[in-house]
Every structure is written in C-alpha cells, then in structure tokens.
Amino acid sequence: MLEIKHTLCPSCSVGCGINVVLYDGEIVGTFLYKRHPVNAGKNCLNGRNSIDCYLNKFENVDVEALIGDVKKELQSADASNVTVICSGNNTIEEIEAIKNFADY
Ligand code: SF4
C-alpha cells in the first residue's frame, strides 16, 4: 500500500516540509509538500536528495546515554577551552543535541 507522510526535511535545521513516500512500509522516495508553511514545496538540492538520509542504515543507539556521556566529558573540561559551533547546515536533531551538550 502506498502512503505519504508529511514530515520535515532532515538535511538541515531550516525546517522545510517534505513528504516521504512509503510502499508497504518501506521508504521509496520523497515528494514536494506544497502546503508546508516554511517552503511551500520548494526544497533545495540537499532537500530533494534527502532520500539518502532516510535510506541510510542507522544504528539504534541510546541517545540519552550518548548525550550523558558527552555532557560528562564537557563537565570535566575547562569551560574556557570549550567552543560550541553550529550552522544552518546542522539538522534539527543535531541542533537539539548541541543544545543539550551546551546546557551543562
Ligand atoms: S536542506 Fe534544503 S530543503 Fe531541507 S530543510 Fe534545509 S533548506 Fe530546506
């Protein structure tokens, strides 16, 4: 069965909408999300190629434990030697993780 799920483009933190197309529960492509308020169906080249992000084989990790480990590392560091850099090219998930890391 063909399904279309409205979601956010995973390629950066701008927050453009995109539709993910599934066939029998498997992701088979992406499609413009024309009614999304941020980008009205206009995705940049990274967004149009974001199918690659969805098709990557991600390992299941305990994100909370991972964030806790990084926080411990940061807490043991001299704060004057720590710099946090992020950009518009970070994904929403990366920005959220950076916020968690920086909030120690
Ligand atoms: S990668 Fe492009 S389409 Fe995707 S959120 Fe960023 S600007 Fe929008």
Residues 35-56, mean pLDDT to the nearest whole number = 91
pLDDT in tens, 9-18: 988 888 999 9
pLDDT in tens, 59-91: 788 888 987 888 888 888 888 888 888 888 888
Residue nearest to atom 4 of ligand 1 (CA): 47
Q: With a 6 A CB cut-off, is 17 part of the ligand 1 pocket?
A: no
Q: What is the pLDDT of residue 57?
A: 63
Q: Is residue 24 pLDDT above 70, yes or no? A: yes
Q: What is the pLDDT of residue 9?
A: 93
Average pLDDT, the chain: 87
Q: What percent of the chain has a predicted confidence (pLDDT) above 70? A: 96
* Ligand 1 atom at minimal distance to the Cα of residue 15: 5
Instruction: Kindly indicate whether the domain formed by 2-55 is annotated with CATH number 2.20.25.90.
Output: yes
Q: How far is the CA of 102 from the centre of ligand 1 (A)?
A: 24
As a residue count, the chain comes to 104
Residue whose C-alpha is closest to residue 26's, from 49, 62, 55, 50: 55
Give the domain ranges of the chain.
Answer: 2-55, 63-102
Q: What is the pLDDT of residue 104?
A: 56
Q: Are 48 and 29 in contact (CB under 8 A)?
A: no
